[in-house]
Structure 1
Amino acid sequence: MAGKLETSPERPVSVRRVNELVGGWIERLGPIWVEGEVAQLNSKPNWALSYVTLRDTQANASVPVTCRTSLLRDGTVTVGSQVVLHAKPAFYQARGSFSLMAAEFRPVGEGELLARIERLKQALAAEGLFDPRLKRTPPFLPRRVGLITGRGSDAERDVLNIARERWPEVDVAVRNTAVQGARAVPEILAALAELDAEEAVEVIIIARGGGSVQDLLPFSEETLVRAVSRARTPVVSAIGHAMDTPLLDNVADVRAATPTDAAKRVVPDVVEERRRIAEARARTADALRRWVQREEQALAQLRSRPALADPLLAVTRRAEELDAARLRLRRGVAAVLERQEAAVAGLRGKISALGPAATLARGYAVVQVQPRDGSGDQVVTTIGQAPPGSQLRIRVTDGAVTAAAMGVRPAD
């Protein structure tokens, strides 16, 4: 490389000289192999040269490529194709433009693309971007749903139609972007950032229909995967069909098999929910009625018990028992009294029969002697108790006679 070009306001160089120097520096680079995605392709069969814009899949950078039209006639190179080309850097001095002059195109095979995606998947998984603990559950009834998809696409129609069938009042903020090719990743990133910054948006769906590995390649781009992992809002991935698995599925909070499935996962079915509410109400009302019936039956059983049917029944029964006991006691006492009265009457009869009064009434008399010591009258049963001169008292039926013993005579 030549030394630094010395210039000054007094000694400037011409434009031609600048282009010559730049062209010389670029041409010394020599032929190189370059990989990228075909972002634009301008070619016609009658053109000698065709013009391609090659985009870097990992960064916002592109380079113009010029090639012979014959290199493109086999149809393997199209917009969105992943290619490796052999080209020589060229600088066109007349107009001061840079381009790669391609001599060969080699489309990157699907197997190689899948292998690269797998290597990137393992690297991102090792960083923890796919950790299930990082995934968030979308709200059951989101206030506003963000949708990133292609304009007028089947995916957009499927999501909107299913969402509005399930919940007519659903609020969907649609952001239409490219979903394949060079513009897809930048536009999806911009739409994601816009929806993620909107406070009312509570879940974001990224959707597109199925396609080839190259068609779905933007959804395995590292920049998009990292942007989704940093998003504040839960993201639902609905890319392609059930068998399509771009890396976006691994980092998204929810992976839907199809755009239709995404709408069903995000938007509740208002008819189904109302049916469930009605069933829940019916079950609740039925359970409440059964509970009330059980309680009523329990109360009826309690009320039918003697203690509650007649709260005074126990007192009444005890009063009746007391009355019966009192009656039995009275009867027992009366019976005892009667027996005792009969016994007394019998004893009284015996006493009357055996007593001296009865004997006196039959004409007999009781003789009592009055001792001289004044110890009390004694009934005379022998003649020895009433010697002559003794003072006697003779009791008869109607009174007593005082007499004196004149003499005694033994019995015959």
Structure 2
Amino acid sequence: MHAPDDFSNGAGDQPPRHILTPSTLNRLVRGLLEDALPLVWIEGELSNVARPASGHLYFTLKDNAAQVRCAMFKPKSSCLRFKPADGMQVLVRARVGLYEPRGEFQLVAEHMEPAGEGALQREFERLKAQLDAEGLFAQDHKRPLPRFARRIGVITSATGAAIHDVLSVLGRRWPLVDVDVLPVPVQGHEAPPAIVSMLRKATACGRYDVLLLSRGGGSLEDLWAFNDERVARAIHASQVPVVSAVGHEIDFSIADFVADLRAPTPSAAAELLVPDVRAQQRHLDQMRQRIMAIQERRLQQRIQRIDHLLARLQSQRPQARLAHDRERLLHLHRRLLGARIAQLNQLKARLDRVHAHLLSQHPRQQLALLRQRLEQHAQHLRRLVEHKLERERLTLQQTARALHAVSPLATLERGYAILFDAEGKVLRSVQTVTVDTPLRARLADGELPLRVSDK
């Protein structure tokens, strides 16, 4: 391999054309490293872990054959979800670089997690999506918890801190509940089958109103028994409501999604499972006061009704009824007497009016009045008759003159005659008669019989 011409020595004793300084060389090496390996994932064992006051994290990552120095600066190191310690197996995402002050090759870490946790997280997401698609997380499969549970089965480690917290909260909030600790391992390969077996036994015995599946906090690997598919299906198949309280508030497991209720912590689960005895006592006191108030009100209503019925009963006694009827009879008698007196007064007033009317209608007075009226009517009638006769006489004279003016008799007096046939009809044409037809002639002073002799 040949060096570039700019960095090679000349022939013979000629001095080199360019001389590099250590800092320049380090910059060149760092540039080559960063360009060739911009970002890498490395798994190894932690050693020489140090966190000075600056907040940066310095450590060595090694395996059986080699080691490399690493640094994680404060913005990144503050976001770690675990505390790095010597001997831990971790997975690091880092940039390859060069620490120029000492000319040492190093890694600048941007992310760190316990080795194996990334694979577990991917497996967690895969199983979660599968069970969700099958409907194991559906809300319509969630069973309601009993309001007052009499027996609770706690499936957890008998030696863990979680059971002590649960028993303490249950004993403080609701001492009446019976709690059975159903011990199972909560970590390791033997945990899932043990949990599944205990869930089936607790469901089959029919003793418990609700089951609590619980354990304390830990890493994803520590909690992995509660992400097992067998445990999830056993929870879904349980005939008894199941409450899941696994890890801390920020931890979520597959059991949390399948269970009928997820509690953030074991202590919170215990508070959700049973009511608060003090709150129930206050509620009972309020209900007792309400019942007493209702009873008092109803008692007062009953007393008032009894008083009313007693008054009615006293009013229905024979003596009281006789006294009441006597009063009523006297009242009616007074009303009848007043009515008779009023009726007599009305009759007397009517009789007085009739008597006055009869006096005004006496025959002597009537005869005098009638005689006077008759004389008046007779005089008036004579005047009317005379006046009418005079008018009729004048009318008759006028009519007689008019009739005489148009009468045929007046025409006959002037020498004319009227011919009649045998039937008394006026003869109007010579065509209506024949020879020897008898006729009559009407003259002014009489009639003459005639006969047609020749036409």
Q: TM-score, normalised by structure 1?
A: 0.51
Give the SS at the match of 2:124: helix
* Distance in structure 1 (CA, Å) of the matches to 2:195 and 2:169: 23
Deviations 1:321-342 (A, max 9, x none): 5222211134346657989999
Does the C-alpha gap of structure 1 residues 326 and 169 become closer, same or farther in structure 2, counting only changes over 3 Å? closer
* Distance in structure 2 (CA, Å) of the matches to 1:76 and 1:256: 31
Deviations 1:174-201 (A, max 9, x none): 1222222222212222222222222212
Residues 130 and 251 in structure 1, CA contact (< 8 A), matched pair in contact too: yes
| Map of 1:75 onto structure 2 | 87
Structure 1, gaps ≥5 residues long: 1-67, 83-105, 344-412
Partner amino acid for 1:241? H
2:339 corresponds to 1:329: yes
Does the C-alpha gap of structure 1 residues 70 and 281 become closer, same or farther in structure 2, counting only changes over 3 Å? farther
| Map of 2:187 onto structure 1 | 180
Structure 2, gaps ≥5 residues long: 1-62, 67-84, 92-112, 354-455
Does the C-alpha gap of structure 1 residues 336 and 195 become closer, same or farther in structure 2, counting only changes over 3 Å? closer
Give the SS at the match of 2:268: helix
Partner amino acid for 2:332? L
Give the 5 Å matches for 1:210-221: 210-221=217-228
Residues 143 and 200 in structure 1, CA contact (< 8 A), matched pair in contact too: no
Q: Pick the structure with greater CA Rg.
A: 2
Shift of 1:202: 2.1
Give the 5 Å matches for 1:198-347: 198-293=205-300, 319-332=329-342
Match of 1:120 among 127, 141, 149: 127
Shift of 1:314: 8.7
Does the C-alpha gap of structure 1 residues 328 and 264 become closer, same or farther in structure 2, counting only changes over 3 Å? same
Shift of 1:126: 0.7
* Distance in structure 1 (CA, Å) of the matches to 2:335 and 2:220: 107
Match of 1:148 among 151, 155, 179: 155
Shift of 1:219: 0.9
Does the C-alpha gap of structure 1 residues 275 and 342 become closer, same or farther in structure 2, counting only changes over 3 Å? closer
| Map of 1:15 onto structure 2 | none
Give the SS at the match of 1:140: coil
- RMSD over equivalenced CA pairs, Å: 4.3
Shift of 1:131: 1.1
Residues 193 and 230 in structure 2, CA contact (< 8 A), matched pair in contact too: no
Give the SS at the match of 2:209: strand
**Identity rate of aligned residues, in percent?**
37
Does the C-alpha gap of structure 1 residues 340 and 131 become closer, same or farther in structure 2, counting only changes over 3 Å? closer
Deviations 1:136-163 (A, max 9, x none): 1232333321111122211100111111
Partner amino acid for 1:212? S
* Distance in structure 2 (CA, Å) of the matches to 1:152 and 1:138: 27
* Distance in structure 2 (CA, Å) of the matches to 1:210 and 1:236: 16
Deviations 1:232-287 (A, max 9, x none): 22111011122211111110011112111111222333343233222212112213
Give the 5 Å matches for 1:38-77: 75-77=87-89
Partner amino acid for 2:279? E
* Distance in structure 2 (CA, Å) of the matches to 1:242 and 1:107: 21
Does the C-alpha gap of structure 1 residues 318 and 123 become closer, same or farther in structure 2, counting only changes over 3 Å? same
Does the C-alpha gap of structure 1 residues 223 and 332 become closer, same or farther in structure 2, counting only changes over 3 Å? closer
* Distance in structure 2 (CA, Å) of the matches to 1:230 and 1:213: 25
Give the 5 Å matches for 1:388-403: none
* Distance in structure 2 (CA, Å) of the matches to 1:74 and 1:333: 131
Does the C-alpha gap of structure 1 residues 316 and 108 become closer, same or farther in structure 2, counting only changes over 3 Å? farther
Partner amino acid for 1:182? H
Give the SS at the match of 2:243: strand
Does the C-alpha gap of structure 1 residues 322 and 122 become closer, same or farther in structure 2, counting only changes over 3 Å? same
* Distance in structure 2 (CA, Å) of the matches to 1:313 and 1:110: 104
> Which is further off, 289-298 or 274-283?
289-298
Residue correspondences, number: 250
User: With CA pairs under 8 Å and 6+ residues apart, which has the higher RCO, 1 or 2?
Assistant: 1
Shift of 1:118: 1.8
Shift of 1:119: 2.1
Partner amino acid for 2:258? V
* Distance in structure 2 (CA, Å) of the matches to 1:140 and 1:336: 88
Deviations 1:322-379 (A, max 9, x none): 2222111343466579899999xxxxxxxxxxxxxxxxxxxxxxxxxxxxxxxxxxxx
* Distance in structure 2 (CA, Å) of the matches to 1:146 and 1:70: 52
Partner amino acid for 2:336? R
Does the C-alpha gap of structure 1 residues 173 and 69 become closer, same or farther in structure 2, counting only changes over 3 Å? farther
Partner amino acid for 1:144? R
Residues 144 and 260 in structure 2, CA contact (< 8 A), matched pair in contact too: yes
Give the SS at the match of 1:146: strand
* Distance in structure 2 (CA, Å) of the matches to 1:340 and 1:117: 119
| Map of 2:138 onto structure 1 | 131
Does the C-alpha gap of structure 1 residues 182 and 311 become closer, same or farther in structure 2, counting only changes over 3 Å? farther
Give the SS at the match of 1:201: coil
Residues 205 and 238 in structure 1, CA contact (< 8 A), matched pair in contact too: yes
